[in-house]
Chain A
């Protein structure tokens, strides 16, 4: 098992979580981009159109949008469709308010920039209070056991 790549930032909100990354080159708003009934990106022009954010460590350059976003994570979480964590280049108030209500881990302004060093499918551990993110690249994981020790890699079905 190789050592993880470590990203650091100011403290975020939420608890420690670990999951697979979904990296969005485009910004994200729950109202503008998401079908909140399914957790699937519904905006046709969005780079991740048709993909679900449920259960992912969602990595994205920018939080966009207005008040719908502040409700969306709570409702998604109640229906099992929320992302595990969200890592933004820059978060905005509505996204953080939504994460606080929903109990979804959220961090921003990490160094190095997660958009540069995390790829979709990478294994990511997010520790918001410590201001720390650990990344095991997917390519490495194919050759090595999982970070939680020894069990075979399981990719999302």
Chain B
């Protein structure tokens, strides 16, 4: 790898031990993927919550702070494990809150901004075309790449810290135009209608293309996704397929035409989404029992428009006494929902808005034990994918069906 004079100074320890260790890790990772150089980034988005990091990961961050680490680019944080105002009511362990408080102190000490959101791109910062980033959360990365035309790899937990400490990342993968071009053609003949249908489309493609280095190119869409639809499509592709990039011909910035999307190369494969396939994607999640224990919406974090729609669907309704309804979003959207009365309507129906968290890192095993949770209904295909590993029976359904399940306490088998 070619390193600049400044990068060699970092490796020599002139920026301190944390930056040196960070760059060493980056050089090792970059070397693995054939990076020839580092590239400067404008911002970093940290992915590290105590549930995901474990004690060793927390120790890694403690070490950084002890050694005087400072972030050198604007650095925000991803979703966390507890809403510090609600965790006691929800029966989450005190230890999770203590770890969250400690991690916030540590990140604050390094100069990080405690955003605690996985929708930084909707709420805080919209990257420009061609901007290099060191973002960690996969849903944020694929949105930045595909929708904004910015450039980031999955800079996972320790790599997101490394990016914040050195202000650069190894230039491989999504930083290189050749890796961003389409590899597979997706012909869509079943048109998405609601936001979660874009997730269903992501399920169909993400189950087929399960490799970071593949890039689907969607054609045949007669409807245009809004930002929430693109959020669901991207997060689902990233979750099911570990994908970091997609194109929609005529809609996303690096796919003005089919030729543009594929960069003049022929597709390596073709996927056809036939009429009825979106419905089949939902029905591939089969309930074991009719009773619904939990309904969750908000992976990734809900936008203001989504909270408003849920408030409308819940108007005049009451959640079933044996069913819990949780909506997850960030503090900014929650503040607006409070201001416009959406929160009040949701709470009047028996639902709760939980701030800064994402359900699959919200101590889901402890939640299941505490509240006897098994069947979870959600309009997030990503959440349905992940939560299965925590002993839940996940059922992915459109948003309106999720609200009906919360009200009736039942799901059709």
Which chain B residues border A69 with CB–CB below 8 Å? Answer: 156
| CB-contact partner of B158 in A33, A65, A101, under 8 A | A101
- For B33, give its contact among A65, A66, A93 (CB under 8 Å): A93
Contact of B136 among A34, A67, A101 (CB under 8 A): A67
Known: A67-B157, A71-B48, A100-B25. 11 other contacts (CB 8 A): A42-B389, A42-B391, A63-B242, A66-B138, A66-B154, A66-B156, A66-B238, A67-B154, A70-B159, A74-B158, A77-B56
In chain B, residues 176-232, which have Cβ atoms closer than 8 Å to a Cβ of chain A?
210-213
Question: Within residues 56 to 110 of chain A, which ones have a CB less than 8 A from any CB in chain B?
Answer: 62-72, 74-75, 77-79, 90-94, 96-98, 100-101, 106
- A90→B213 contact, CB < 8 A: yes
Which among A32, A65, A94 has the greatest number of chain B C-beta atoms within 10 A? A94
Q: How far is the CA of A60 from the CA of B20 in the complex (A)?
A: 32
Total contacts A-B at CB 8 Å = 135
Q: Write the chain B residue with the least CB distance to A31.
A: B386
Contact A71 B389 (CB under 8 A): no
Chain A contacts for B33, CB-based, 8 A: 93, 96
Find B157's partner among A10, A11, A27, A70 (CB 8 Å cutoff): A70
B167 at interface by CB-CB < 8 Å: no
Least distance between A76 CB and chain B CB atoms (Å) = 8
Distance in angstroms between the alpha carbons of A79 and B134 in the assembled complex: 29
**Other-chain residue from A29, A33, A75, A93 in contact with B29 (beta carbon distance below 8 A):** A93
Residue of A whose beta carbon sits closest to that of B158: A101
Q: How far is the CA of A78 from the CA of B32 in the complex (A)?
A: 24
Contact A43 B136 (CB under 8 A): no
Known contacts A10-B34, A42-B389, A78-B55, A97 near B158 by CB under 8 Å: yes
Q: What is the number of residues of chain B that contact chain A, defined by CB distance less than 8 Å?
A: 44
Q: Are B242 and A65 interface neighbours, CB within 8 A? A: yes
Q: Which 8 A-B residue pairings sit nearest by Cβ, starting from the closest?
A: A70-B156, A75-B54, A67-B47, A94-B156, A78-B56, A92-B212, A67-B156, A66-B138
For B210, give its contact among A27, A68, A77, A106 (CB under 8 Å): A27
Q: Range of interface residues on chain A?
A: 35 or more
Query: Contact at B389–A31, with CB atoms within 8 Å?
Result: yes
Instruction: State A71–B32 Cα separation when bound (angstroms).
Output: 18
Task: Return chain A residues, CB-CB under 8 Å to B154.
Answer: 66-67, 70, 92-94
Chain A nearest CB, measured from B407 CB (Å): 29
Shortest beta-carbon distance, B18 to chain A, in Å?
A: 13
Give the contacting residue for B28; candidates A42, A45, A70, A100; CB below 8 A.
A100
Q: Which residue in A36, A45, A98 is a CB contact (below 8 Å) of B156?
A: A98
- Interchain CA distance A92-B32 in the complex, whole Å: 10
Question: Can you name the residue of chain A whose Cβ is closest to the Cβ of B360?
Answer: A31
Report chain B residues within 8 Å CB of A66. Answer: 47, 137-138, 154, 156, 238-239, 242
Look across to chain A and name the residue whose beta carbon is closest to the beta carbon of B174. A93
Q: Are B57 and A71 in contact (CB under 8 A)?
A: yes
Please, which residue of chain A has its CB at the minimum distance from the CB of B59? A78
Docked-complex contact B242 and A74, CB < 8 angstroms: no
Residue of B nearest to A89 (CB): B211
5 cross-chain CB contacts under 8 A: A13-B29, A77-B56, A79-B56, A93-B33, A97-B156
Tell me if A114 is interfacial: C-beta within 8 Å of chain B. Answer: no
